[in-house]
Structure 1
Amino acid sequence: MSRIREKNQQLIIEVASREFATHGYAATKIVDVAKAANIPKPNVFYYFSSKDKLYYAVLQTVTQPLLEASRPLEEVEDPVEALQQYIVAKLRISQDHPYASKVFANEVMSGGSALPEDIGVELFNQSQMIIDKFATWSEQGLMDKVSPHHLMFAIWAATQTYADFSWQICNVMQKEQLDKGDYRQAAEFISQLVIKGCGVKTKP
């Protein structure tokens, strides 16, 4: 893929993410995306032949990082380190893909009817892996006997809220937008909350 093509596609996806997040899938039109990106409408169709394909591309910008975020839980043996890395990765998604994250959240809240089946299957399989991992840690005495489902849900909520409720968070903190330091502090706090609250132990 040429740099120009990649740059144009990235621009369209970024603008579409904002449009879908602000107006929703049904209300967003390709012409709106083209106008917001300041490019001709045919150019959008050149790269994305339909609104469905553009929507799928937007979802991919957040679902792929979401799928990759759980890699520490699979590859890192120490539960403390694995959880810390997982939480950092989840927060990085909220930081780097705020609009796409909102699009994903809106899709989930609306029942996931427009979520591509293959993405839904991958996310479900990932969830089962995370639940199994938490359950295994509990059985091994590396974590308290907590509900693996609700622990996973709590981490999701604590990390994704920085994208989905960014306006409210910035308003309370009296900032136009959060900086790297804010996300670092959030990662440290959420990690401490989970690790100490669930009695997570370093693997001997």
Structure 2
Amino acid sequence: MNPNAQVSRISKGKRTEIRRENERVILDAAEKVFAEAGYGGATMQLIADMAGLPKANLHYYFPTKEALYRQVVRNIFEIWLHAADTFDEAPGPVEGIGGYIEAKMAISRRHPFGSKVWASEVMHGAPVIQDYLETTLREWTAGRMAVIQRWVDEGKMAPVDPRHLLYMLWAMTQHYADFGHQIETLNGGRPLSDAQWREATETVKAVILRGIGVV
């Protein structure tokens, strides 16, 4: 083996690893800054400071604030997309909708800033990601509605409007991220414990599954 070629491969692999780590640090910092300051209040310098990197590094990976913002939004939405895998694999609403609630509650706990970025963007009329709502989100929603309607038609759950059921699922699960400060305040100023998160998840599941007549 050519020693120079081996060194080149090792060097390339190291650069790829460094790039991935830098992108992760930048995206984590951007998620928090966008959540706290909004798109208008966030600056590349603020994000660089939060990431502990020179501002030039941000522009190397993300040439504009909008490009960085869209990647943050895309990341949280892709996480939500994977949460809905339970729909496609489940034999019925108990497993599908129940699993979806569990996944969405876990996301609200692990990715609260991403959820807040999404909520703020939509509440302001989606000035940056409207195209994303009109394509990816619309297609995703139509697919999940079709699964729910099939379960209704097969008599596996009560006849409810699939669209409004999805809206309720989003509202109930994402509340724990978007209004995390309020929840902590009402919890004596403390984050929910593991046991409280389990209780919250089981409560949401019970309310929804009983409401659609499957438990």
Fold similarity call, TM over 0.5: yes
Q: Which residue of 2 aligns with 1:177?
A: 191
Highest relative contact order (Cα 8 Å, sep 6+), 1 or 2? Answer: 1
The alignment status of 1:127 with 2:141, answered yes or no, reads yes
Which range moved further: 111-120 or 47-56? Answer: 111-120
Q: Contact (CA 8 Å) 2:105, 2:201: kept in 1 or not?
A: yes
Q: Which residue of 2 aligns with 1:7?
A: 21
Q: Which residue of 1 aligns with 2:204?
A: 190
More helix as a share of residues: 2
CA distance in 1, matches of 2:111, 2:177: 8
Instruction: State the AA in 2 paired with 1:77.
Output: P
Identity of aligned residues (%): 34
Paired residues for 1:35-46 under 5 Å: 35-46=49-60
How far 1:32 sits from its partner (Å)? Answer: 1.1
How far 1:168 sits from its partner (Å)? Answer: 0.3
Unaligned runs of 5+ in 1: none
Paired residues for 1:46-57 under 5 Å: 46-57=60-71
Runs of 4+ residues over 4 Å off in structure 1: none
Q: Which residue of 2 aligns with 1:62?
A: 76
Instruction: State the AA in 2 paired with 1:8.
Output: N
Q: Which residue of 1 aligns with 2:7?
A: none
CA RMSD, 1 decimal: 1.7
Q: TM-score, normalised by structure 1?
A: 0.91
Unaligned runs of 5+ in 2: 1-14
Q: Contact (CA 8 Å) 1:67, 1:123: kept in 2 or not?
A: no
CA distance in 2, matches of 1:181, 1:127: 31
* Secondary structure class of the residue paired with 1:112: coil
The alignment status of 1:160 with 2:168, answered yes or no, reads no
CA distance in 2, matches of 1:41, 1:182: 40
Which range moved further: 182-191 or 19-28? Answer: 182-191
Q: TM-score, normalised by structure 2?
A: 0.87
* Secondary structure class of the residue paired with 2:204: helix
